[in-house]
A and B are shown apart, each in its own frame.
Chain A
Amino acid sequence: MSAVLDHHDHTHDHHDHAPSGWRRWVYATNHKDIGTLYLLFSFSMLMIGGILALLIRAELFQPGLQLVNPELFNQFTTMHGLIMVFGAIMPAFVGFANWMIPLQIGAADMAFARMNNFSFWLLIPAGLMLAGSFFMPGGAPAAGWTLYAPLSLQMGPSMDAGIFALHILGASSIMGSINIIVTILNMRAPGMTLMKMPMFAWTWLITAYLLIAVMPVLAGAITMTLTDRHFGTSFFNPAGGGDPVMYQHIFWFFGHPEVYIMILPAFGIISQIVPAFSRKRLFGYSSMVYATSSIAILSFIVWAHHMFTTGMPVTGQLFFMYATMLIAVPTAVKIFNWIATMWRGSMTFETPMLFAVGFIFVFTMGGFTGLILAIAPIDIQLQDTYYVVAHFHYVLVAGSLFALFAGFYYWVPKWTGVMYYEGRGKIHFWWSLISFNVTFFPMHFLGLAGMPRRYADYPMQFADFNALASVGGFFFGFAQVYFFLFVVVPCMRGQGVKASQRPWNDPDGAGAEGLEWEVASPAPFHTFENPPKLDVTATRVIG
C-alpha cells in the first residue's frame, strides 16, 4: 500500500511510471493497485457487516424487543450475511490473489489488466446498492441471505436491488476468475511448472474454476426469482404451480461450492505461512494439491445436506449424508499435513504464524461440528438452530477471516515496505481469538437446546448464553477496529521499522520461500517485466 501511496520513497525504481492522483486508482491497471483497492473495499464492507452483526447482538443481549422491531431485525440478519459473504470475504481473497499471484509465479501483471480494473469497479455500485437498500421503501431484503422463495417473492423493491447487486457481483467474480485462471495457466515464468507453484496460487486456480462453475447458477436462481416477482412466471411460486424446494436445490448447488470458494484460498495462505515459520518445506505438497482438488470436486455433490429437513426421500438423504462425510477425508489430510510440516521444524511465532496456528485449531472445531451436522438424524435436531450459526462462524470467521489476517501480517512488509508493530499484531490475535470463542462457543449450547436462528426474541431460558455471546461479539468487533487503526493505518502511512527484502528469513536463509521474496520491499510498482530465470525449485531468481 505504501508501495503505492508514497512513491518518493523508492524513486530508485526507474520503471515506476505510476500515474498520480485519482486517475491512478480509477484507471488502475496495475495488479498491486487493484489488489489494494480490493482489500480496502472488503475491509469497509467488513465494517458495515460488522455493525449489522453488533446491532443483531445488541438486540439479542436480552430477551424481549429492546432496540428494533422484528422486520428490521430480519433485514439485519439478511444483509449481514450478504455483505459479509459477497462484500467482505470474497473480494478480500481476490485482493490477495491480485497482489500475490503475479508475484508468486513471476508474471509482470494479471493477464487482462483492464478487465481487472472493471471487475473491481463493478463492486462499488453493487456494494452501494446492497448497503443502500436499507433506505428503500419497505427496507432492505429480509428473506435471509439464502433468499428462499416464496418469502423472497413477498419482499419490497429492495429485493430487486439486491438481486441486481448480486448479478453485478457475480459478473465481477467471473471476470476475476477468468483473469486468475489465464494468468496462472499462461503467464508463469519459465521453470515454474504447475507442480512447483506455491500453494496459494494452486488453491486460487481451483477456486477460480469453482467460481466460474457456480456463479452462473446463482445468477439463474435469482433471475428466476426476479421473473417470478415481476413477469408472472412461476418457477418457485407455489400459487402458480412452482416449486419452492427447487429454489433451494439450485441455490445450494451454488451455495455449497461457494463455501469452499471462501475457504480454499485460506488453505492456500496457511500452506504458505506454516512452512515459512517452521523453517521446513510443506509436508506432502502433491497430496495437498490432490486434497484441494478432491474437496472442490466433492463440493458439487453434497449440496442437499443443507436441506435434510425439506423431506427428501430416504435414499437422497443417505447419499448426501455419505458424500458429505467423505469431505472430512481430504480436509483431515490437510490438517495432518500442516501438523507434519510443523513437526520437528524450528518454529517461531510471529503474528502470521499465530493466526495460522489459531486457524488450524479453531477451524478444526468448525470442521468437527460440520461432521456432526452431516449426520442426518442429528441434523434433524440441529437444522436452522444456533448450532448451525456457531458452525459456519467457526469456519468462516476463525477459518477464512483468520487466514486473511494471517496473510495480511505475512505479506504486509512486502506491500508497504514497513513491518507492522509485532506487539500490536499479537494483541490483535489474542484479543480476536478469545472474544471469537466467547461469542460463538455458547451458540453450540443454544443450538443443542433448540434455539432457532434468525429469531428477534427468544424464550428466557436462553438469556444467559445470549448475553455472553453479545458481550463477546462487541469485544470481537472492537478488536477489528483496533486492527485497522493501530496496525493497518500505520503500515499504510509507512510508519514502523523498514522491512528488509526477506523479513521472514533467518540470516542463514531458512524461512519463507517463493518469488515474492525475490523482489524488494516494498514491491516496486512493476515487477518481473522480463520473465525471470528460476532455479530448479522455482523459488529463487538466478538472473
Chain B
Amino acid sequence: MKSISNKLASLLCHAGIWTGAWLATTAHAVNDLPGGPAVNQMNLHPAVTKIAEEQHWLHWMMMIICTVIFVAVFAVMFYSIWKHRKSAGHKAANFHESVTVEILWTAAPFLIVILMCLPATKVLVASKDTTNADLTVKVTGYQWKWGYDYIKGEGEGLAYISTLDSSQRAMSNAGKPEGDDYLLRVDNPLVVPVGKKVRVITTANDVIHAFSVNSLGIKQDAIPGFVRDTWFRAEKVGTYYGQCQELCGKEHAYMPIQVKVLSVQDYSLWVDGEKKKQSAKADDPAKVWAVDDLTKRGEKVYAANCAACHQASGKGAGAIKALDGSALVLDADKLKQVAVLLNGQNNGAMPAWKQLSDTEIAAVITFTKNNWSNKTGQLVQPAEVLAARK
C-alpha cells in the first residue's frame, strides 16, 4: 500500500509541477515553506505526528478504494454509452428488475463502508486520548489573535499573545504580498518540546475560532464559554504552520498559528529565558505614570490591539465607532471607558479586553483621551483599572 501510494504521490506531483509551470502567467516568486504549504501542494502536509501519519494512510486508502470503484462503475457506464447507443443500431432490451442484483449491489457497498470504518475507528479513538500529557497548554482564540498559557508541565506559568506580524497585514491591504511565509509569520510562536505529549486545551474569548496545524494532524474549535482539548506529539524539530479555520469575523484570514518544536534542551533554555523576560517585563500596577510616558505606551497598545478596527486615524469604519471625538472617550467620568474595555459592548461587537494588563488598559485609554482631536488631558492610572476590575 505504502509503495503504491508513494508512486501515485510522485505521479501527482509531476502533474502538479507541470500545471504550475503552465500557470506561470500569475507567477509570484515564492518557494515551498517547510512546515507550511508547498507551492501548488496537492496533498496533505508531510506528517510530523503519528496521528497525522495515520490520517495520511487513511486518506490514501480511501482514495484508492474510491478510485477503483469509480473507474469500475464508469467503465461500465461508458462502455454501455458506446455500445448501446441508438446510432450504432442497438435495440433496447426489456428487463427492468432483478431482486438478486439489487440485493447484491446493496450488500456490496455496505460491506465496503464497514471495511472503511474499521481502521478509521482505531485512529479516531487514538486521536481522542488526551490523557497522560507531558505538557498542557491552554490556547485562547481572540478576535483576532491567539493567547497561549502554559498550564502544566515545564514552562508552567508562561503566558503570552501571538499575533500576525503587522507587516503582513499591510502587504495584504496594499495587494502586494511577498515572502514564503506571507500571512503565516507571527510575533510569538507557540513553543513546545519534541517527542513530548502536548495536550492543547482550547477556548475562546469572543466567537468560535479553530486551532489547526496541518502537519501535526490537529484541528480543534476554540469555543467561548467551553473548553475542549486535543493533543499531539511532534516527532521532528521544526516550525509548523496553521491558520484559524472557523469564520471569526473580518480578520479571520489574519490570525495564523505557528508552532515551534524545539529539542528538549533548547526548550528548557527557552523556558528559562522567557521566565526571566517575563519577570523583568511585569509592570507594577501600583506605579504612578506621567501623561507622556503613558501615552507613548498606549500608542503601542493601540496599534497592536485597536487599530485593526478603529483605524490608526481613530475614525472607525462602517459599523465600527469612531474614537476621535467620541462622547464616551471625552467623558469626564473616566470609569465609563474603563468599563467598556473591561466588559465589551454591543454583544461583543466591541470585545472585552480584560486579558490586557492594568497598565496596558490604562495606557491605551490615556492615549485615546489625548490623541487626534481629543485633548482632555485626562490620565488613567493602572491602579484605577485594577480597582475597576473588582
Seen from chain A, the residues whose Cβ lies within 8 Å of a Cβ on chain B are: 61-66, 69-71, 74, 137-139, 142-144, 148, 150-151, 153-154, 156, 229, 237-239, 241-245, 278-285, 287, 309-311, 314, 317-318, 321-322, 325-326, 328-329, 332-333, 335-336, 339-349, 357, 360-361, 364-365, 368, 371-372, 375-378, 380-381, 383-385, 445, 448-452, 454-465, 467-468, 510
Contact = CB atoms under 8 A, between A and B. Distances in A.
Interface of B: 16, 19-20, 23, 25-28, 30, 32-33, 36-45, 51-52, 54-55, 58-59, 62-63, 66, 69-70, 73-74, 76-77, 80-81, 84-87, 90-98, 101-102, 105-106, 109-110, 113, 116-117, 120-121, 123-125, 127-128, 171-177, 179-184, 202, 206-208, 210, 212, 214, 217-221, 223-226, 228-230, 242-254, 318-319, 346-349
A342 B176 CA distance: 53
Contacts of A376: 120, 124
Given A138-B319, A321-B124, A380 B217 contact: yes
Given A153-B348, A344-B90, A463-B28, A375 B223 contact: no
Contact of A244 (B180, B223, B252): B223
A63 B182 contact: yes
23 contacts: A64-B177, A74-B247, A150-B348, A281-B96, A283-B96, A284-B96, A310-B228, A314-B124, A314-B125, A321-B120, A329-B106, A332-B105, A341-B96, A344-B84, A346-B90, A349-B81, A376-B120, A452-B212, A457-B177, A457-B254, A464-B23, A464-B27, A467-B25
Given A148-B208, A347-B86, A459 B172 contact: no
Nearest to A445: B42
B219 A347 contact: no
A452 B28 contact: no
Given A348-B86, A384-B210, A464 B113 contact: no
A318 B127 CA distance: 12
Contacts of A346: 84-86, 90-92
Contacts of B246: 148, 309, 384
Contacts of A349: 81, 85
A460 B77 contact: no
A276 to B, nearest CB: 11
A413 B26 CA distance: 45
Contact of B175 (A65, A383, A448): A65
A61 to B, nearest CB: 8
A467 B86 contact: no
Q: Which 8 A-B residue pairings sit nearest by Cβ, starting from the closest?
A: A238-B225, A311-B228, A138-B319, A449-B41, A64-B175, A461-B37, A344-B93, A346-B92
B73 A348 contact: no
B215 to A, nearest CB: 9
Nearest to A332: B109
Given A377-B55, A459-B184, A467 B26 contact: yes
A317 B124 contact: yes
Given A282-B96, A284-B97, A335-B73, A459 B37 contact: yes
Contacts of A242: 225
Contacts, number: 346
Contact of B33 (A156, A326, A459): A459
Given A242-B225, A329-B109, A381-B59, A342 B51 contact: no
Given A287-B102, A347-B86, A62 B210 contact: no
B80 A342 contact: yes
A450 B128 contact: no
Contacts of B221: 309-311
A74 B32 contact: no
A460 B28 contact: yes
A333 B348 contact: no
B13 to A, nearest CB: 11
A385 B98 CA distance: 42
Contacts of B74: 361, 364
B245 A383 contact: yes
A484 to B, nearest CB: 29
Given A285-B97, A375-B62, A445-B40, 14 more contacts: A74-B250, A156-B319, A238-B224, A310-B228, A347-B85, A371-B62, A372-B62, A375-B116, A380-B127, A448-B43, A451-B37, A460-B180, A463-B26, A464-B39
Contact of B37 (A325, A462, A468): A462
A457 to B, nearest CB: 5
A460 B30 contact: yes
Contact of A372 (B63, B174, B182): B63
Given A318-B121, A343-B80, A454-B247, A364 B175 contact: no
B329 to A, nearest CB: 21
Nearest to A324: B113
A345 B90 CA distance: 7
B347 A154 contact: yes
Given A325-B113, A340-B101, A384-B210, A375 B120 contact: yes
Contacts of A310: 221, 223, 228
A450 B37 contact: yes
Contacts of A287: 102, 106
Contact of A378 (B32, B55, B171, B319): B55
A153 B319 CA distance: 14
A280 B85 CA distance: 12
Contacts of A383: 210, 219, 245
B379 to A, nearest CB: 30
Nearest to A137: B319
B84 A464 contact: no
A381 B349 contact: no
A326 B250 CA distance: 38
A333 B219 contact: no
A345 B28 CA distance: 52
A380 B219 contact: yes
B176 A64 contact: yes
Contacts of B123: 377
A137 to B, nearest CB: 7
A336 B105 contact: yes
A183 to B, nearest CB: 27
Contacts of B176: 64
A452 B85 contact: no
Contact of B253 (A317, A322, A458): A458
B54 A347 contact: no
Contact of A339 (B40, B76, B109, B347): B76
B347 A153 contact: yes
B49 to A, nearest CB: 12
Contacts of A144: 247
A372 B66 contact: yes
A448 B41 contact: yes
Nearest to A77: B247
Contacts of B244: 452
Contacts of B223: 238, 244-245, 310-311
Contact of B208 (A70, A151, A339): A151
Contacts of B171: 64
A464 B39 CA distance: 8
Of A279, A385, A460, the most chain B CB neighbours within 10 A belong to A460
Of A318, A321, A375, A454, the most chain B CB neighbours within 10 A belong to A375
A498 B233 CA distance: 71
Given A368-B70, A377-B124, A70 B252 contact: yes
